[in-house]
Amino acid sequence: MEYHHPNTVSADAFEKRSTVDRKVACDGGKGPLGHPRVYLRIEQGEDRIVCPYCSRCFIYNGAH
């Protein structure tokens, strides 16, 4: 059995979404039970960004 410290989370614990855009929006995806819409930017040289509200991970798969 693998042990994780209570303040750390496995990278596979949250939803992942692929994107071809460096600008993404996240609202939690649950209608009124989601969170305020936030706009996030995957910076040049980075391949992902994580929503600060729901920890959904957006992975950039666009042409470089």
pLDDT tens-place string over residues 7-51: 444 555 589 999 999 999 999 987 788 899 999 999 999 999 999
Number of separate domains in the chain: 1
Would residue 20 count as lying in a domain?
yes
Would residue 7 count as lying in a domain?
no
Would residue 22 count as lying in a domain?
yes
DSSP reduced 3-state for 33? helix
End-to-end alpha-carbon separation of the chain, Å? 40
Please give the Cα distance from 9 to 47 (Å, whole number): 19
Domain of residue 30 covers 16-60
User: Cα angle at 62 between 11 and 26, to 5 degrees?
Assistant: 55
Would residue 10 count as lying in a domain?
no
Would residue 53 count as lying in a domain?
yes
Would residue 3 count as lying in a domain?
no
30: number of CA atoms within 13 Å, CB side?
Answer: 8
Would residue 8 count as lying in a domain?
no
* pTM of the complete model beyond 0.85: no
